[in-house]
């Protein structure tokens, strides 16, 4: 069992021992390594001041939030901070040069995060289109100036190429740091650890658990890290279904999901930021059992099922039977979510989804809705829905579905009040949520009818 955390930082191999794996990467960079360019703003992965870049062996780069990433997660990775951007012959790095020439620098607090986001964007080979650039910048909040000069700098650096970095890679054997942070390298090792350490928390991307260390300053006492288990990092599809390993990040899953369910392109672009999607996983979003998680409503509508695995074997559970009550599920203490599978859309089926929140980017859903309908000759043959923010768990709208099968969209909208009794909170009152969900059903009718001159996704 390895006890050293090993990773590459700005092209230098780093090996740490005697350091808590629960330390956030940001705290270690600033307090131990003295790399002060990376800043702490919100301490919860929203503002982007802490942005660093993960460099992959295939040459790709992904921006991530260092404030919620734990040191144990970085084992086997390659990380670059703003101090690691170097130009040739003493000149600034091309990204830094573009930021300066475009007058895109600010007070200095936010600028390093923007620079690292631009670096990841430049290496991604993406076209300098405004929509793409704004998506890349959604996880960085500027506090002093406008975004116009920053966008201009991004257009200058798009499509740059960089040599593939040196990445140490994950060890073949399981790692254990300080007997509190377990990093299994196989599914068999994972379920054994889960059976032996039922009190441990399962760590996927840390976009939720990382807040315990970054904001609450009460890091978890024991974690089992899932990222290096090959069996739960699989992406696959066949003629009938799509399967996503529970530890697959949103960034990796998005191309496959959008290919098969095009409506998810707009929806997933609003699920966190690129930094969050680099880290966050669908399995984690399900496992937390939050009633306002973005993906469960979608997966409910798509008739997803979960493969749950333990030392006792595996079982398949439909997602609509997984959630029991607020933050309670059927997952046994010794089980893990191995994968999520969902059928592809059949001929004649349509799928739509909506997220309503106080702001467009980087916000938690007030109401999320998803709807899959099978149509024939303009009539609804079958339907499945999924809603979030409307109950103690993500939930289907049974009465609304029944009305939709009769083709009664207005009746379905009115049935929302019977399907859900949401609560009041700072994101929205119960009556507001019911009204919003009912109006989403009415929007669904407009989509199916193909009502012209209305950009429904812009509403």
User: What's the mean per-residue pLDDT of the chain?
Assistant: 93
The number of beta carbons lying within 10 Å of the beta carbon of residue 376 is 10
Residue 417's Cα: distance from chain center in Å?
Answer: 30
Helix axes 111-123, 148-157, angle to 10 degrees: 30
Say which CATH class 349-458 falls into: alpha beta
- List helix spans (H) across 302-429: 398-405, 409-419
Residue 348's region, left for phi above 0, alpha for psi from -120 to 50, else beta, is left
3-state secondary structure of 336: strand
Among the listed residues 116, 88, 146, the one whose alpha carbon sits nearest the alpha carbon of residue 29: 116
Say if residues 250 and 307 touch (Cβ distance below 8 Å): no
Domain 230-343 has CATH 3.40.50.300: no
Residue 279: its H or E element: helix 274-279
Domain 1-170: which CATH number of 3.10.20.30, 1.10.3720.10, 3.30.2010.10, 3.60.21.10? 3.10.20.30
Query: For the whole model, what pTM was predicted?
Result: 0.93
Token pair for residue 47?
A: 């503002």
Residue 159's region, left for phi above 0, alpha for psi from -120 to 50, else beta, is left
Q: Determine the Cα angle at 53 with ends 135 and 91, to 5°.
A: 100
CA atoms within 13 A on the CB side of 314: 12
Note the residue count of the chain. Answer: 459
User: Which comes out higher in pLDDT, residue 415 or 162?
Assistant: 415
The CATH fold assigned to 175-225 is 3.30.43
Q: Three-state SS string across 115-170, please? A: HHHHHHHHHCCCCCCHHHHHHHHCCCCCCCCCCHHHHHHHHHHCCCCCCCCCCCCC
pLDDT per residue as tens digits for the range 87-115: 887 789 999 999 999 998 878 899 999 99
Distance CA 434, CA 249 (A): 32
Q: What is the mean pLDDT of residues 42-60?
A: 92
Q: What is the mean pLDDT of residues 161-169?
A: 81
pLDDT per residue as tens digits for the range 209-258: 899 888 888 888 899 999 999 999 999 999 999 999 999 999 999 999 99
pLDDT band (50, 70, 90) for residue 455:
low
3-state secondary structure of 360: coil
- List helix spans (H) across 144-186: 148-157
Question: Domain segments of the chain: what residues?
Answer: 1-170, 175-225, 230-343, 349-458
Say yes or no to pLDDT of 166 above 90.
no
């Amino acid at each position: 069992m390895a006890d050293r955390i090993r990773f590459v930082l700005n092209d230098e191999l780093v090996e740490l021992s005697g350091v808590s794996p629960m330390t956030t990467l940001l705290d270690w960079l600033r307090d131990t390594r003295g790399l002060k360019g990376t800043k702490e703003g919100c301490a919860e992965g929203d503002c982007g001041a802490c942005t660093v870049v993960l460099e992959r062996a295939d040459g790709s780069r992904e921006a991530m939030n260092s404030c919620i990433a734990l040191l144990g997660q970085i084992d086997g990775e390659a990380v670059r901070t703003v101090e690691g951007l170097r130009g040739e012959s003493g000149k600034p790095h091309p990204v830094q040069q573009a930021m300066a020439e475009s007058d895109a620098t600010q007070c200095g607090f936010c600028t390093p995060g923007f620079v690292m986001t631009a670096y990841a964007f430049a290496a991604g080979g993406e076209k300098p289109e405004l929509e793409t650039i704004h998506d890349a910048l959604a996880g960085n909040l500027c506090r002093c100036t406008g975004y116009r000069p920053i966008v201009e700098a991004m257009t200058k650096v798009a499509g740059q190429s960089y040599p593939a970095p040196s990445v140490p890679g994950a060890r073949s054997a399981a790692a254990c740091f300080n007997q509190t942070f377990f990093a299994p390298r196989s599914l068999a090792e994972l379920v054994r650890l889960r059976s032996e350490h039922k009190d441990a928390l399962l760590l996927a991307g840390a976009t939720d658990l990382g807040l315990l260390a970054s904001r609450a300053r009460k890091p978890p006492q024991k974690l089992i890290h899932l990222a290096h288990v090959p069996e739960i990092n699989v992406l696959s599809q066949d003629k009938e279904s799509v399967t996503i390993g529970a530890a697959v990040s949103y960034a990796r899953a998005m191309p496959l999901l959008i290919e098969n369910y095009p409506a998810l392109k707009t929806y997933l672009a609003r699920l966190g930021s690129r930094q969050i999607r680099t880290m966050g996983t669908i399995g984690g979003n399900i496992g937390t059992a939050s009633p306002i998680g973005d993906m469960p409503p979608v997966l409910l509508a798509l008739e997803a099922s979960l493969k749950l695995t333990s030392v006792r074997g595996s079982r398949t559970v439909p997602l609509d039977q997984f959630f029991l009550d607020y933050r309670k599920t059927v997952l046994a203490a010794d089980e893990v979510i191995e994968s999520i599978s969902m059928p592809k859309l059949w001929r004649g089926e349509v799928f739509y989804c909506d997220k309503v929140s106080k702001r467009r980017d980087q916000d938690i859903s007030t109401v999320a809705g998803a709807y899959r309908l099978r149509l024939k000759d303009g009539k609804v043959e079958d339907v499945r829905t999924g809603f979030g923010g409307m109950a103690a768990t993500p939930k289907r709208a049974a009465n609304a579905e029944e009305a939709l099968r009769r083709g009664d969209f207005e009746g379905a909208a009115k049935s929302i009040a019977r399907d859900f009794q949401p609560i009041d909170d700072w994101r929205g009152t119960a009556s507001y949520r019911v009204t919003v969900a009912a109006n989403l059903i009415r929007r669904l009718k407009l989509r199916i009818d193909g009502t012209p001159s209305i950009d429904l996704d812009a509403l």
